[in-house]
Amino acid sequence: MDPAPTSPLARAEHFVWLTARVLEQRRFAYHFLPQRDGLEPAVDAVERALAAYLNDDGGYGHALEPDLRGPVSQPLHTAYALRVLDEIGRCGGQRIERVCRYLTEISTPTGALPALHPSLRGYPAAPWIPVVDDPPSDLLATGPVTGLLHRGGVWHAWLFRATDFCWSAVERLADGAPTHPYEVMAAITFLDCVPDRQRAGAVAERLGARVREQRLVVLDPWDAAGHPVPAGYGPGEHHFAHDFARLPGSVARPWFSDTEMSASLDHLAAAQQEDGGWPINWRQWAPGTALECRPMVTIDALLTLRAYGREID
C-alpha cells in the first residue's frame, strides 16, 4: 500500500481527485501537476471542461458558481469563467466576443451588470442574494468581469460604460461608503486589472484604509472569534489579509504589514483539513454546494501560498 501523502500539495491532490468536479480537477492539474503521458495538454483540458458550462447566449450557467443552481446564464457564472480563462491565457478571441454580446444583452440601464439576472427565478439559489425583476447594477459581478476583460486586452463597446460604473462604485467605497468583504474583493479585481495604474493605486490606498476602519479584515487570525462578522454573513465568516491580497502584486498587498501578512498566511496554511482540502467559511445552504466549493477554495489556498513563497510540496 502506498504511504499516505504528507505534503500539503499531495494531500490536496488526493482530496481533489476524490471530490472535485472535472473543471477543478483540470485546473488543479494545470497549476500543480507536470504534464503526464497520455493526457490531454493541460490548457486544452481546462478549456474543454469549462465549455460544458457555456450556453448558446454566450454566457455561462449550470451552477458553474455553485451557489447559483440551474442551467441559465448568470453574471457571476461568467465572472468565474473569465477567471478560469484568464488563468490559462485564453481570455480573448471569438469566445470573448460572444461573452461581451451576452453582457450587453443583460446589462442594466447604467451599462453594468446585476449580481443576479431575473432568469434565475424558479431555480435553487443561495438565499442571501434575492432574485428581483429589475435588479440594480452591482460591483460584485461588474468589477471582476470588467477587470478580467481589461487584463485580457479586450476591446468592446460594453466595457466603456461598465468601466465608468466600476470607477464610480469603487470611488464611493474609497470615500467611506459602507461595504462588505466580497464587494471589496470585486473592487480589488477591478483595480488589479484596469489599465489606469496610477489611478488604481491611488484609489486602492484609500480603499484599504476604509477596509481597516470598517473592521472588514481580521488582522489577528488566532483571535478571530472576538471579531465582528459583517451584517448578513454567517457565523465565523471572517476574512483575512490573504483573502484580499491573494497575490503579492495585488493593489491590496500594501494594506497589510509584513507581520500581518505572515500571520494570515500561517493561518491559511494551518487551515488545511485532515482530508487534504480547505474549508469554506460561508453558510452552507445545500449539501452539494459545500462539496463543489471546497476544491475551488483548496486551489485558491494553494495558489496563494505558492505565490508568497510558502512551501506546499
Can you say whether the dihedral through the CA atoms of 281, 282, 286, 289 is positive or negative? Answer: negative
Which helix (H) or strand (E) covers residue 99, if one does? helix 94-106
Q: Tell me the whole-structure pTM to 2 decimals.
A: 0.95
pLDDT of residue 287: 84
Structural contact between residues 113 and 138, judged by C-beta atoms closer than 8 angstroms:
yes
Structural contact between residues 193 and 147, judged by C-beta atoms closer than 8 angstroms:
yes
Residues composing the chain: 313
Of 166, 183, 154, nearest to 111 (Cα)?
166
Structural contact between residues 235 and 282, judged by C-beta atoms closer than 8 angstroms:
no
DSSP structure class, residue 137: P
Structural contact between residues 169 and 139, judged by C-beta atoms closer than 8 angstroms:
yes
Structural contact between residues 170 and 144, judged by C-beta atoms closer than 8 angstroms:
no
User: Would you state the cell numbers that stand for residue 70, as one nine-digit string?
Assistant: 440551474
pLDDT of residue 4: 64
pLDDT of residue 1: 40
CA distance 250 to 30: 22
* Distance, C-alpha 283 to centroid of its chain: 17
Can you say whether the dihedral through the CA atoms of 240, 293, 138, 128 is positive or negative? Answer: negative
Residues in the chain where the model's pLDDT stays below 70: 1-4, 35-40
pLDDT of residue 38: 54
Which helix (H) or strand (E) covers residue 165, if one does? helix 157-174
